[in-house]
Amino acid sequence: MAGQVKTLRDNLPADDVAVQASATALGDMWIKLGKFRRADASFHAIEDQALAEGRAYPAMMAGMKRVWLAGALDKAREANMMLDALEQRPIAQEPGFRTALRAVRLRLAVRAGDDAEITRLAGTIAADQGGPPVLVWQPPYPGDAMAEASNNVRAFGGVDVTSVRSTDVASIQWVDVGFWVRPDGHIEEAEILRGSRAPAWAPAILKQVAGRRYAASAKVGEEDGPGSYRIERVTRKNLYATPVGSNIRRRVAAPGFEILDLTASEAAMSPPGE
């Protein structure tokens, strides 16, 4: 990784897209290796050098990486102070970075468990961005084999594979997934922002989101921009059925998911009730 970064810096101008995109690559490598102090030192050195040379873009990218890293290490006060300072820079007023900084603040609110702040920030991100990116392809959503089998049997008047008992009832299961759609159409940093208590299907949803491809949106000279930040609410489908031994209809799990793009509306929704 160090060799690749050095080759780019030695053979291309400092303001070249490839050089700027590789600026934080070393720090990212240290994060993946679990060397967080080295990662922060790498980002800090990049930020200081870029500021000294008057290059606002790489300085902001490295600064946001430092904020995210501090938040991940539970240094909330330090992370918020650094984020406040970043928001005072002139480049922070550009639409792409304004959205990126709000997304970083939202991720800090997620770690703090502040639902009200998460909802507020999701709404500001939604209002601050243009239309949603164009989805080109996506993997299928995960399926529940037993629920799908019962649904198929029920459609033909048969007996459910797993009959609903009088004590069965399904809770509302949901997650809010945040992710970046980069200018080249690839997905990065997909994560669960919040949701109901530990739904077992959440990791499969993250895998589905990470596998999507959107239409490239970058204009000339903007290939290394932050892209579009999206938040989707994924809720497991339910149906109402009267189980054997009871006269009371109740909510039970059904195959499939309901998907709502919170960043496609003017305001983000609050968490669903039980």
C-beta of residue 177 within 8 angstroms of C-beta of residue 192: yes
pLDDT of residue 221 exceeding 60: no
Chain region(s) in the chain for CATH 1.25.40 = 2-93
Nearest Cα to Cα of residue 235 among 272, 267, 188: 272
Mean pLDDT of 61-85: 92
Q: What is the mean pLDDT of the chain?
A: 82
Give the total residue count for the chain.
Answer: 274
Q: For residue 148, what pLDDT is reported?
A: 61
pLDDT of residue 20 exceeding 90: no
How far apart CA 271 and CA 274 sit, in angstroms, is 10
* Residue located via tokens 């902001």: 60
pLDDT band at 174 (very low <50, low <70, confident <90, very high): very high
How far apart CA 133 and CA 184 sit, in angstroms, is 11
Q: For residue 149, what pLDDT is reported?
A: 62
6-32 b/e (C-beta count within 10 Å ≥ 16 → b): eebeeeeeeeeeebbebbbebbebbbe
Check whether domain 135-264 has CATH 2.50.20, yes or no: no
Note the pLDDT tens digit of each residue in 73-84: 989 999 999 999
Q: For residue 5, what pLDDT is reported?
A: 80
Distances 95 to 138, 184, 228 between C-alpha atoms, Å = 27, 18, 10
Nearest Cα to Cα of residue 25 among 60, 58, 1: 1
C-beta of residue 45 within 8 angstroms of C-beta of residue 65: no
The residues near 145 (Cβ < 8 Å, ≥ 6 apart) are none
Chain region(s) in the chain for CATH 3.30.1150 = 135-264
Fold for 2-93, please state it: 1.25.40
C-beta of residue 180 within 8 angstroms of C-beta of residue 229: yes
245 DSSP 8-state letter:
T
C-beta of residue 216 within 8 angstroms of C-beta of residue 210: no
Geometric angle at alpha carbon 160, from 142 and 274, rounded to 5°: 60
148-182 b/e (C-beta count within 10 Å ≥ 16 → b): eebbeeeeeeeebeeebeeebebeebbbbbbbbbb
Is residue 92 classed exposed, middle or buried when 0-12, 13-18 and 19+ CB atoms within 10 A define those classes? middle
